[in-house]
Amino acid sequence: MPQINASPALAHLRVLDLSRVRAGPTCVRILADFGADVIRIEPPAGIDPNEAMFAADRQGGDFQNLNRNKRSLTLNLKTPEGLEVFRKLVVDADVVVENWRPDVKDRLGLSYEKLSAINPRIILASISGFGQNGPYAGRPGFDQIIQGMGGLMSVTGFSGGGPLRAGLAVADCGTGIYAAVGILLALLEREHSGLGQWIHSSLLHTQIALMDFQAARYLNEGDLPVQVGNDHPTSSPMGLFNARDGAFNLGASGEGNWKRLCDCLGEAAWLQDPRYASEKLRVRHRAALNEALARRFRERDVAHWVKLLNDAGVPAGPVYSMPEVFDDPQVRHLGVAQAVPGDDGSSYRLISQPVTLERTPAGIARPAPGWGEHTQEVLTEIGYGTADVQRMRSEGVV
């Protein structure tokens, strides 16, 4: 089968991507970047009333970043022939990813039970807002709704400032990553059993899982997480401080970092101050400690403090704007932004995978496909001739 050849790691796999918006494409992007043959299956133009939300600006950075390394097949699953084409694709596929509302796949006859009857090795990954069953299963789920229901907005922002959303799609991206992990686990298990399985992940469960220590502290110690702005809820000194020319972050949690901080600042007296004798006491007396640190930090520039603290082994870093992020020498060294040429002579700068496999690394071989760019190619692979494809185009099947 033709491959985009982003990496050899998953080049033996074929993935049928029915997903839209962010969580699903985030999941499938991981598989595509590691070489899976991903076929993005999209309705022909004019079929989906929400198509502008997920496919209109195909040249935009967001769409390109989410959908690079994929092929595109247009297919109208609302037609009997469109469903028949999809079932033929399932015969030789390894993974199907969808993020419809839970009842849609049943209405289309594409449930895991139906798919596994065609191909017992198939893995179906279903992504939803609230889960595949339960009282909220039928609800639509967007990231901000889930940030609110999963607790993130209750702990984000400054005390008394009211709920605040995080500045990125935490639930969407996290769910996509968890779903990809689930797919890889199911593929690994299939090597022993020979069977696929149905895996599902939800934005709600993911968001609560990402609350991590905040949720665990509440469940086990009864500690109610609250908004603490740029301070850390359980560690001090840790947070945002203003230097003479701007802000920087300091992370001096733990006794070792605390001692190194006092030593490099020449504040031996703080080590003897009973208010700061332990982490818990430093949290309790955070206001006084932060003010003492603020007086010192206002004396010099950010660059001075970041170097001094890091040289002493105390975590510290500047607060970057987006241009500054990509100008940073370590970011450039890591190859975070990767240039990818388009077929029309254009060029995109996309975000590389943040996990490195030394022998079979991920890659970005091609930008996102044009709408239905590979329809003829994919259908030819499963036995359809040119005349068949032309007829299906005229009938609105593809």
Q: What is the pLDDT of residue 2?
A: 63
Tell the CATH superfamily of the 247-318 domain: formyl-coa transferase, domain 3 (3.30.1540.10)
CB atoms within 10 A of CB 204: 22
Give me the amino acid identity at 117.
A
Tell the CATH superfamily of the 14-210+335-395 domain: Crotonobetainyl-coa:carnitine coa-transferase; domain 1 (3.40.50.10540)
CB-based contact 87:77 (threshold 8 Å): no
Taking the chain, what is the end-to-end CA distance rounded to the nearest angstrom?
20
Catalytic residue positions, numbered: 172
In the chain, which residues have pLDDT < 70?
1-2, 52-56
Q: What tens digit of pLDDT does each residue of 203-229 get?
A: 999 999 999 999 999 999 999 999 999
Sequence-distant (6+) residues with CB within 8 A of 50 are 20
Q: What is the pLDDT of residue 342?
A: 83
pTM of the predicted model as reported, rounded to 2 decimal places: 0.94
3-state secondary structure of 195: coil
CB-based contact 94:122 (threshold 8 Å): yes
Taking the CA atoms of 134, 136, 142 and 143 in sequence, report the sign of the dihedral they define.
negative
Q: Which residues pair with 14 in a beta bridge?
A: 37
Decide whether 14-210+335-395 matches 247-318 in CATH topology: no
Strands (DSSP E) contained in 210-269 are 238-243, 246-251
Angle of helix 170-193 relative to helix 203-210, nearest 10 degrees, comes to 100
Q: Where are the domains of the chain?
A: 14-210+335-395, 247-318
Give me the amino acid identity at 259.
K
